[in-house]
Structure 1
Amino acid sequence: MDGIKKIRLLAARYWADAVLVIKPGVCYNHMSNLLSILYATLVGIWLVPGSSGESTFTLEATLWDVRNEYLYLTTESEASSSAVRPYGWIDETSIVAESKEKVISEFSSEVLRRFKSMK
């Protein structure tokens, strides 16, 4: 909560009435399956689909009143993506980017819906 107070004080310096705080989070897991035994051969690393990568990306938003710590709204969105490929072709950044794209579209529509419901 100490971080929120600092953010509120900074927003108050610029005469803001409310501040929207967005926190991202990412979790990436790399696992091997039974076919990974064939990685002992050098060709297996590039041809045998013995590895899988899974990414989960979350976005959390809170809208705070700057003056009195009133929480106007909070929302959270989560998306995941995965791929099963040979170890030589697993690209962590593309799997994370795919889950990030999914969560951003879902998150933006959810935040807009919450803003419209406020009166």
Structure 2
Amino acid sequence: MKTTEIVKELWARFSLGKYVDCEALLHENLRVVWPTSRECYESRNDFIVVNEAFGKDWTFEILSLEETTSDKVVSVVHVSSPSCPDSFYATSIFSFASGVITNMETYWAFQDKQPEWRRNFSKVY
């Protein structure tokens, strides 16, 4: 399977709340880093367990998906849930070996409102 297809499949399964079904896409010694909260997960199992704890009603909408010249894949997804008042953007950089994800570095950002002081400078879309 092509690396971009692996990432598409990961986000599709996450959107269905089928985190355990992602095992075949993830290396056993998967390393996941979330720099914005300074967290690190050092196994596929740890990563699956934390996502199970978040719950199964999240949607991961792919906004951008690109393969890099260094054989990595970068995705930008919009993450939302009917049970959470906030939504997020997640920019992830994936590395691969033998057809599975070995490393994932994700930068999380809240979807925010335009600050009052910028209303004269920018438009809200």
Same fold? TM cut 0.5: no
Q: Which structure has the bigger radius of gyration?
A: 1
Q: TM-score if structure 2 supplies the norm length? A: 0.29
Q: TM-score if structure 1 supplies the norm length? A: 0.30
> Higher helix fraction: Structure 1 or Structure 2?
1
